[in-house]
Amino acid sequence: MQPANGTTKPRPKRLPIGRLVPASQSIHMGAGTEHQPQHPTSHSPAMAAGKRTLVFTYGTLKRGFSNHALLQDLFLTGDATFVGAAATASPLPLVCGPYRVPFLLNLPGSVGCHRVKGELYSVTARGLARLDELEGVSRGHYERLPVEVMLAEDGAEQLVVEGEAVAYYAHRGYAEEMWSRSGRRGHPEYSPAVAAGYVRRVDRPQNLTFLEQIQVFVSSQS
């Protein structure tokens, strides 16, 4: 787009990883104990020790839910830092599958979904490997992909830039089936009310794999 004088408008400068810009600016990006938020600036300890990845959590890894214990372990080893409350920049489907397990679906533009609320963490490579194992990335359970997120900052929303934020989406192999099985209606947040009836992994039938449980769920009547 060119101004009236015909000169080319310069592209906005991309900021270092973890820096924030007001949502109104035209910046584009790729896709127990309680810890106080540390904003991911270039001077933050969260960004100081080696490469870190911003991970958007929307389900059981959040504070107050069953898998948050893993993040607490990572806090103790310095492999994770809580950044703040966040939400997806655009609407995405968030649904519950078998045993009220939450799934974020990489189906942007779907009708019937919302901007999803969650939490943002800064995680080291070692911490990311632990999260990958929990989420079954190598087994086709979830897949770690870029996500655009807005971080709550002093009462306003700020866009996290540089495409460094990621989320664990439902694997593409069953995402569309999961969306159809859910009646193409998503949740804005995995709240305690939405999570009611959640069954921990150790309490689920052990004769079926995770993917088999999903297949049974998507094949059943709603």
Encode pLDDT of 191-220 as tens digits: 999 999 999 999 999 999 999 999 999 999
**Torsion sign (Cα): 72, 43, 166, 142:** negative
189 is catalytic: no
pLDDT value of residue 197: 96
Cα 106 from Cα 145, distance rounded (Å): 9
**pLDDT exceeds cutoff 70 at 66:** yes
For tokens 């830039």, the residue is 161
What are the structural domains of the chain?
29-219 (3.10.490.10)
pLDDT confidence tier of residue 51, bands split at 50, 70 and 90: confident
pLDDT confidence tier of residue 2, bands split at 50, 70 and 90: very low
Encode pLDDT of 107-151 as tens digits: 999 999 999 999 999 999 999 999 999 999 999 999 999 999 999
Q: Is 26 exposed, middle or buried (0-12, 13-18, 19+ CB in 10 A)?
A: exposed
pLDDT value of residue 159: 77
Cα 147 from Cα 163, distance rounded (Å): 7
Q: Which of 135, 143, 157, 189 is catalytic?
A: 135
Q: Between these two residues, 121 and 153, which has the higher pLDDT value?
A: 121
**pLDDT exceeds cutoff 50 at 12:** no
**pLDDT exceeds cutoff 70 at 47:** no
Mean pLDDT, range 49-53, rounded to an integer: 81
Which token pair is 41? 């600036």
Encode pLDDT of 16-27 as tens digits: 444 444 433 322
Contact 80, 131 (CB under 8 A): no
Encode pLDDT of 71-106 as tens digits: 999 999 999 999 999 999 999 999 999 999 999 999
Which token pair is 192? 């305690």
Return the number of other C-beta atoms located less than 10 Å from residue 217's C-beta. 19
